A and B are shown apart, each in its own frame.
Chain A
């Protein structure tokens, strides 16, 4: 499993790294303050990070398996690429409406934008 974390997740992870060992209920209380998450959301994210092998939750006490330095050394990407299972509901006023551009199309578009000059 690839070790990746999103920007929001990494703030949550920092909470653990800074305060470990920390009880899971205390962690939930703090992330509620910091991130505005509900308890259940914190537990969901914690479970996911534990499954990735970054942290462990033993009898309600959360500790890290990888230090912050170890974790960031293992990957360079800063965000999680995650697919949606199923699609977004159709009525979302989404910023884009797309089905993956091919790399050629992307470079073609980028060239078009780069070559564009106002007034031409």
Chain B
């Protein structure tokens, strides 16, 4: 039942968009024949009834699945309205308030949907009951009606003429109706009969009863009822001729004077219905060919733009990640060494069938490497692809990865696999090629820029001082920083990082420098080193990264600026609403990696020296062993580890054995000329973080 409710919610939201569009079109169609409004309202009805629709790139409907069917089970409940601004406002709140927590047994979203379903069912029941009771009451009164020639009946106990019945509708007239008015009233009611309005109105009412929770549809129903009357007046007048305008209007007014209030339609908004109708009747002229043509065009356009569904080009983040991973896996042919495979894809459409989702894509995979700072493209593929995945328990599994065969098979394969509506796009290789290549290049640039930022830095000098603090920026001299491949910033206060430990400051996030987030933070009473200014720093910036960290009462702010000339600056300041400011900017100097630093030339026979290891990839995968001439050693596993092993070492043949002071750990190396080879099998296990493996080479 909840599934039906969610489906209806989505259909209601979709139809709501359409209803709003129809309301907007209504004033434009004032001069057009009123049946055109009927057609437009019928579209709204179709949307409310029919769960499927043709997909079209022209569709203006923002989203057909605003509320995902899995909202009850997902960890991060979110809606997809198709309007980014709305999503951005609503979704964080949803995630915060309704995300399942391990503490509570029930998922709050599940409870919400369950309650919603109950309320919805109760509302429908109430409306059904109300309707049945009022129909029965009316029928009891109509038992006193007497026939006046098929299908007209006269009754004392009604105050307004109307049409009632599904299969054999009867026209009921109040007995007080004057003979003169009767002709026009009957003409109107017969026009209703011919237009089958009694059926349309019942259909509309049933839909309203199902979607009773939708405020837009209540308004839409009111307008729909009014448009039915206006269209019916037009039809009646067409039959009666223009001379009937005045008496027809009189009959309209007579039927609405001074009788007791009767809500023939719960949405009778005051008396404006009659006013509007009288005016409409008096103004009525036979519509010109132009007006009819224009109305037809509007209806056709509405069908094209609003009755069709948007292409399923939106996919959730989790699926996007999965697709990228799969594409990478299937295109890693010549991927070698430092090459970076940039993946970009355009979703042409998605189809969901139960737990299976099929995504139609244009995939571009380009391999890049960096040569002297410039990007070089090595290999590439651009190919229409169909990926079918299965979603089970919130994880995706690959069902099929399909790409067309080359050569003469290519076109046929695509036409067989892609739905006909997508052939044009799937066969047009040029359509996305340009923008996809750009996207791939941007990804590669980002990748290499981030990679090249990784390294160990020391403060070279300060270039900016806010001037409001007494302490001198030179007190920071000697501080060192480490930026890892995945952009974690670490710091240490000791000049020699091997004698101290690194502390993680936080995760750097890339952002775009602008005057607001940079220049504005440098406006206190600044002291700049010659040649530096906020503008020049910003103009020469290639990429900027930031992080904030809570330090006691302050929120410390770090910016790392990577300039086009390769220089790296570190800005340090405080985040405090309007008072956010930067205190210092330092120029950083990349220091050589420990693996190279320590490789001092060795004296022949002696083992005394510091041996360093670096796996050549991850800056954290460094370690060093220092052998001292007094027979002691010092073993550092990793910049991340504050543990340093101390103890004594001894040599057994070509084997070097290190034993820690506490006797807990033993480390064994094989001595090879000027280096030590780590013997993982004979050593204790505790070499965490270091990335040390058997055979690791310490030079």
Binding site for B on A (CB under 8 A): 5-9, 11, 35-38, 40-41, 44-45, 78-103, 105-106, 109-110, 112-113, 116, 118
Minimal Cβ-Cβ distance residue in B for A8: B156
In the complex, A36→B263 CA distance in Å? 29
B257 contacts across to A, CB distance below 8 A: 101, 106
Map CB proximity to A onto B262-274 as digits: 1 under 8 Å, 0 otherwise.
1111111011011
Contact across chains for A80 and B157 when beta carbons are under 8 A apart: yes
Contact across chains for A98 and B162 when beta carbons are under 8 A apart: no
Contact across chains for A99 and B263 when beta carbons are under 8 A apart: yes
Contact across chains for A99 and B261 when beta carbons are under 8 A apart: yes
What class of interface size applies to chain B in its complex with A?
Answer: 35 or more
CB of A78, distance to nearest CB on chain B (Å): 7
B156 contacts across to A, CB distance below 8 A: 5-9, 79-80, 82
CB of B262, distance to nearest CB on chain A (Å): 6
Minimal Cβ-Cβ distance residue in A for B154: A8
B205 within 8 A of A: yes
Contact across chains for A113 and B154 when beta carbons are under 8 A apart: no
Question: Secondary structure at chain A's binding surface: helix, strand, loop or mixed?
Answer: loop
Minimal Cβ-Cβ distance residue in A for B273: A97
Using A87-B134, A96-B274, A109-B253 as known contacts, list a sample of 5 further A-B pairs with CB atoms less than 8 Å apart, ordered by residue number in A. Answer: A45-B144, A78-B176, A84-B262, A98-B273, A113-B278
A100 contacts across to B, CB distance below 8 A: 256, 258-261, 271
B138 within 8 A of A: yes
Contact across chains for B157 and A6 when beta carbons are under 8 A apart: yes
Minimal Cβ-Cβ distance residue in B for A102: B271
Minimal Cβ-Cβ distance residue in A for B135: A89
A116 contacts across to B, CB distance below 8 A: 245-246, 249, 282
Map CB proximity to A onto B145-183 as digits: 1 under 8 Å, 0 otherwise.
111000000111101111110000000001110000000
* Neighbour of B274 across the interface among A7, A44, A86, A98, CB < 8 A: A98
B226 within 8 A of A: yes
CB of B4, distance to nearest CB on chain A (Å): 23
CB pairs A–B below 8 angstroms (29 shown): A6-B155, A6-B156, A7-B175, A8-B144, A8-B145, A8-B154, A8-B156, A8-B175, A38-B143, A44-B143, A80-B157, A82-B157, A83-B262, A84-B260, A88-B262, A90-B267, A91-B202, A93-B162, A93-B189, A93-B192, A94-B160, A94-B163, A96-B160, A96-B274, A102-B271, A106-B257, A109-B274, A113-B282, A116-B245
CB of A42, distance to nearest CB on chain B (Å): 9
In the complex, A84→B144 CA distance in Å? 15
Contact across chains for B176 and A7 when beta carbons are under 8 A apart: yes
* Neighbour of A91 across the interface among B176, B201, B261, B279, CB < 8 A: B201
In the complex, A3→B638 CA distance in Å? 106
Contact across chains for B266 and A90 when beta carbons are under 8 A apart: yes
Contact status of A91 and B263, CB under 8 A, knowing A106-B253, A116-B245, A118-B242: no
Contact across chains for A97 and B143 when beta carbons are under 8 A apart: no
A81 contacts across to B, CB distance below 8 A: 159, 259-260
Minimal Cβ-Cβ distance residue in A for B222: A97
Contact status of A97 and B246, CB under 8 A, knowing A8-B144, A91-B202: no
CB of B133, distance to nearest CB on chain A (Å): 7
A8 contacts across to B, CB distance below 8 A: 144-146, 154-156, 175
B265 contacts across to A, CB distance below 8 A: 90, 92, 94, 97
In the complex, A36→B156 CA distance in Å? 15
A88 contacts across to B, CB distance below 8 A: 134, 138, 162, 262-264
* Neighbour of B189 across the interface among A95, A102, A113, CB < 8 A: A95
Contact across chains for B271 and A105 when beta carbons are under 8 A apart: yes
Contact across chains for A83 and B146 when beta carbons are under 8 A apart: no
Minimal Cβ-Cβ distance residue in B for A106: B257
B137 contacts across to A, CB distance below 8 A: 84-86
Contact across chains for A7 and B270 when beta carbons are under 8 A apart: no
A87 contacts across to B, CB distance below 8 A: 134, 262-264, 266
Map CB proximity to A onto B484-495 as digits: 1 under 8 Å, 0 otherwise.
000000000000
Contact across chains for A113 and B273 when beta carbons are under 8 A apart: no
Contact across chains for B270 and A99 when beta carbons are under 8 A apart: yes
Contact across chains for A7 and B264 when beta carbons are under 8 A apart: no
In the complex, A102→B201 CA distance in Å? 28
* Neighbour of A97 across the interface among B144, B176, B229, CB < 8 A: B229
Contact across chains for B154 and A101 when beta carbons are under 8 A apart: no
Contact across chains for B274 and A6 when beta carbons are under 8 A apart: no
B583 within 8 A of A: no
